[in-house]
């Protein structure tokens, strides 16, 4: 997928215009560069496109749709597989960028909370946070062959981690999601992705542990 095609700088500009803000001329190029880094195999421009497509399909109207879309653009802008604070640093980058545009305190706060929700440590509290989390996790419910490519891409991003350590760590992350009472918080995502996501997660955990 190519972020320059269907999902262009014009889409990001429309969000800023809806908030009566003017995006810095370099902002889209900066985000595109970050998501196009060669070290990214999954958390790249394709992931952002996928999230935007899922947001467009969601029948629930978010209370802060512009802030939610901005959060999607920024939520993986900082991605370092050796760090544990990527969401926080991405939220900081979003805040810095929005402050430069004289965004309101409310807009900045909303975008920050939505980005930080993608740690997936806890279920989203607000409907917007739930949609954000569901959009971010929607890839778990894709067809099995596509999901296997997702797992392979993530392994590529963590190629520096020895296999045994990676397999154990990745299995723990997937088990944390699988053990939740519900992976998806909103009805539309639950209806479409809950069952296939659980199947994909269970099979991925088995592959990881059996391949050690």
In tens, the pLDDT along 143-200 reads 999 999 999 999 999 999 999 999 999 999 999 999 999 999 999 999 999 999 999 9
Whether 49 and 77 share a structural domain: yes
Cα separation, 200 vs 136, in Å, equals 16
**135 lies in some domain:** no
* Residue 2: band (very low, low, confident or very high) from pLDDT cuts 50, 70, 90: very low
Task: Kindly tell me if the per-residue pLDDT of 95 is higher than 60.
Answer: yes
Average pLDDT for the chain:
91
Q: Are 120 and 31 in contact (CB under 8 A)?
A: no
Whole-number pLDDT of residue 63: 76
**153 lies in some domain:** yes
Task: Kindly tell me if the per-residue pLDDT of 40 is higher than 90.
Answer: yes
Whole-number pLDDT of residue 60: 77
- Look at the chain and report how many structural domains it folds into: 2
**132 lies in some domain:** no
CA dihedral (30, 35, 36, 39) positive or negative? positive
Which residues constitute the domain of residue 122? 9-126
- Residue-wise pLDDT for 109-152, tens only, equals 999 999 999 999 877 789 999 999 999 999 999 999 999 999 99
Place of tokens 């296999």: 163
Whether 99 and 144 share a structural domain: no
Whether 120 and 17 share a structural domain: yes
Whether 109 and 162 share a structural domain: no
Cα separation, 177 vs 121, in Å, equals 9
Integer CA distances (angstroms), 200 to 37, 40, 146, 204, in order: 27, 22, 10, 6
Whether 107 and 204 share a structural domain: no
Q: Are 44 and 7 in contact (CB under 8 A)?
A: no
Rounded to two decimals, the pTM is: 0.92
**3 lies in some domain:** no
């Amino acid at each position: 997928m190519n972020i320059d095609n269907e999902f262009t700088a014009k889409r990001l500009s429309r969000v800023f215009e809806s908030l009566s803000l003017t995006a810095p001329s370099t902002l889209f190029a900066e985000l595109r560069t970050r998501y196009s880094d060669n070290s990214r195999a999954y958390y790249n421009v394709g992931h952002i496109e996928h999230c935007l497509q899922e947001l467009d399909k969601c029948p629930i109207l978010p209370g802060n749709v512009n802030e939610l879309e901005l959060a999607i653009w920024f939520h993986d802008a900082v991605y370092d597989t050796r760090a544990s604070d990527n969401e926080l640093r991405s939220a900081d980058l979003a805040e810095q960028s929005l402050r430069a545009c004289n965004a309101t305190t409310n807009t900045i706060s909303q975008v920050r909370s939505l980005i930080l929700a993608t740690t997936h440590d806890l279920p989203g509290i607000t409907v917007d946070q739930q949609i954000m989390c569901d959009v971010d996790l929607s890839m778990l419910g894709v067809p099995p062959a596509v999901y296997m490519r997702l797992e392979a891409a993530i392994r590529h991003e963590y190629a520096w981690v020895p296999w045994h350590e990676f397999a154990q760590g990745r299995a723990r992350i997937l088990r944390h999601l699988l053990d939740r009472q519900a992976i998806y918080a909103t009805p539309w995502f639950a209806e479409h992705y809950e069952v296939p996501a659980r199947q994909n997660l269970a099979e991925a955990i088995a592959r990881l542990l059996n391949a050690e």
